[in-house]
């Protein structure tokens, strides 16, 4: 029988997808029984993917793909409704698995949450808890905005919702993920990371009513710290729990704290650690095969006034046709002293679904991403950009091609510098960041939902930021993983996710623990 998995703070389901990818023979070794997520569109994504997992490998009905193939939002929703009616049992199971719930909120008291967990586990003796409590309060960027950790920010304590469930239900194994900033976060002068580690070792000291067993906490990447925390929480380095994803075959420099907890007495042997990849997977390796698309034109400045010593702009509509875009790009190239570029055949803004063939030169990459039944690419539509930003993107991507590095602010011509006062201060040198093709991408974060300035495509001919699908490829979501919501909401989901390919490597370690036991 499959090992049950409960996923807390699930986001769009990156951790669960990785666990679901681990097979035993031709069947999934782990079974996702409950995924809890509060955000509406991430929940829709979870629900749709849960439906996909109700079927065996290669047995997903074509009706699933028909929903993805439809570009009209209204018709897509109609097809989704028909899917739910046609496959009632599978859809009902998916609804039971994907629960829209805000842990810690008064509308979802512990007894309600515990009831759902107990029903999902159905008295299973062995099971796995996974999840990443909200991390914005610990992130370096979040702390810089508020001047440190805010003791009144409820998100600081949301890990205790995770901890309570460990204490109440005592999983055999748990995996907890969080941002690198957790290692340096302090509250009232004390290390939050050390506090969390101490709590995870002995959940019963916080939630004594549950009489929970203790847990041993392990690193997934450092064997020297694998058997720590018997009594003394002091150890060599907090960074021993930091996973640098690019070292393990993930095409981005994503650094995250991931902890492995094993219930005391469950196994006598220490777990293995994940193996480093033979070579790094670069950005070009995973997005080069996607169809080229152009950026969209959002608006242009038609009038500028100086009010209170600041420029105030009046914007006007702009022609966003393929021809107008080509003319705009060639005008920018002329102004930057670059030669004109010929129109790329069939270059458009992309779509929710593009029917096309996809080729992979690397068999392992193809094995992970490719689904021949998909017959194309989904969530591959560019966002619109202002003319001024497009000119910066063109300059930046061309600069990268010539200089083999992305430009800093001091490399930009004066007329391309942003208007804010700190443009030349040196504090925003990577404000416009071209992703380099021959390196792993920088960390895909939820900020990608706000603008594309940190995620500029390296191809000047396309002159744009990355699409949702390109970000999803960097995050290692399979191509048939469909993200619901508008484009901004899709970006947000992808940026908040755990890379499924990395999660799959963690899951194989846990499979080994269970098999040995």
315 has pLDDT over 80 = no
As a dihedral over the C-alpha atoms of residue 10, residue 14, residue 16, residue 17, rounded to 10 degrees, the angle is 150
Q: 76-90, 257-271, 316-330, 408-422: which has the minimum mean pLDDT?
A: 408-422
Q: Give me the pLDDT at residue 479, please.
A: 98
Look at residue 148 and tell me whether its pLDDT is greater than 50.
no
Enter the tokens of residue 421.
């006062």
Looking at residue 419, its pLDDT comes to 67
- Residues 6 or more apart whose Cβ sits within 8 Å of residue 467: 290, 293, 350, 379, 380, 381, 382, 383
**Which pLDDT score, from 0 to 100, does residue 420 have?**
60
Q: Are strands 350-355 and 376-381 parallel, antiparallel or unpaired?
A: antiparallel
Q: Does the structure show a pLDDT above 50 at 287?
A: yes
Encode pLDDT of 47-76 as tens digits. Answer: 999 999 999 999 999 999 999 999 999 999
**Full-prediction pTM beyond 0.85?**
yes
CATH architecture of 3-36+109-280+498-516: 3-Layer(aba) Sandwich (3.40)
| CATH 3.40.50.150 segments of the chain | 3-36+109-280+498-516
Q: How far is 134 from 184, CA to CA, in rounded Å?
A: 16
Alpha-carbon distance 203 to 197, whole Å? 10
What DSSP assignment string belongs to 165-205?
A: HHHHH--SEEEEEEEGGGGT-EETTEEHHHHHHHHHH-GGG
Residues 270-282 have a mean pLDDT of 93
Per cent of the chain over pLDDT 70 is 87
- pLDDT beyond 50 at 380: yes
Average pLDDT over residues 115-137: 89
Residue matched to tokens 């390296």: 458
Q: What confidence tier does 382 reach under pLDDT thresholds 50, 70, 90?
A: very high
């Amino acid at each position: 029988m499959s090992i049950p998995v409960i996923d807390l703070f699930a986001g769009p389901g990156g951790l669960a997808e990785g666990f679901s990818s681990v097979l035993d023979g031709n069947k999934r070794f782990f079974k996702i029984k409950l995924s809890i997520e509060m955000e509406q569109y991430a929940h829709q994504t979870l629900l749709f993917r849960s439906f996909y997992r109700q079927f065996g490998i290669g047995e997903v009905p074509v009706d699933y793909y028909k929903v993805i193939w439809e570009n009209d939002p209204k018709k897509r929703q109609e097809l989704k409704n028909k899917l739910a009616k046609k496959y009632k049992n599978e859809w009902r199971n998916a609804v039971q698995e994907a629960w829209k719930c805000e842990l810690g909120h008064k509308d979802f008291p512990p007894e309600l949450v515990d009831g759902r967990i107990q029903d999902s586990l159905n008295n299973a003796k062995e099971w796995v808890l996974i999840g990443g409590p909200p991390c914005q309060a610990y992130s370096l960027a979040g702390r810089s905005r508020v001047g440190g950790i805010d003791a009144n920010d409820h998100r600081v304590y949301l890990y205790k919702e995770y901890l309570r469930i460990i204490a109440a239900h005592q999983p055999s194994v748990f995996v907890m993920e969080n941002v690198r900033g957790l290692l340096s976060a302090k509250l009232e002068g004390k290390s939050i990371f050390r506090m969390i580690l101490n709590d995870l070792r002995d959940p019963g000291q916080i939630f004594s009513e549950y009489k929970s067993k203790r847990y041993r906490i392990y690193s997934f990447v450092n064997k020297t710290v694998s058997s720590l925390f018997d009594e003394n929480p002091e150890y060599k380095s907090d960074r021993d729990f930091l996973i640098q994803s690019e070292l393990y075959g993930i095409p981005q420099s994503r650094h995250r704290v991931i902890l492995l907890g094993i219930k005391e007495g469950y196994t006598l042997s220490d777990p293995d650690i994940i193996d480093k990849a033979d070579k790094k997977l670069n950005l070009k390796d995973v997005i080069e095969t996607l169809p080229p698309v152009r950026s969209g034109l959002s608006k242009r400045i038609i009038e500028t006034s100086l009010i209170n010593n600041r420029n105030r702009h009046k914007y006007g509509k702009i022609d966003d046709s393929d021809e107008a875009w080509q003319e705009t790009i060639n005008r920018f190239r002329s102004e930057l002293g670059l030669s004109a570029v010929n129109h790329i055949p069939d270059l458009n803004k992309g779509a929710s679904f593009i029917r096309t063939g996809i080729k992979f030169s690397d068999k392992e990459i193809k094995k992970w991403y490719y689904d021949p039944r998909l017959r194309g690419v989904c969530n591959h539509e560019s966002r619109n950009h202002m003319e001024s930003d497009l000119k910066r993107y063109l300059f930046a991507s061309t600069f990268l091609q010539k200089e083999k590095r992305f430009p800093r602010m001091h490399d930009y011509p004066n007329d391309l510098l942003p208007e804010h006062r700190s443009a030349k201060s040196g504090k925003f040198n990577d404000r416009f960041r071209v992703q380099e093709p021959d390196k792993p991408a920088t960390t895909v974060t939820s900020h990608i939902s706000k603008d594309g300035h940190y995620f500029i495509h390296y191809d000047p001919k396309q002159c744009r930021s990355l699409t949702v699908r390109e970000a999803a490829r960097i995050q290692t979501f399979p191509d048939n993983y469909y993200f619901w919501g508008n484009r901004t909401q899709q970006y947000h989901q992808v940026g908040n996710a755990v890379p499924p390919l990395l999660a799959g490597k963690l899951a194989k370690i846990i499979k080994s623990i269970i098999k040995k036991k």
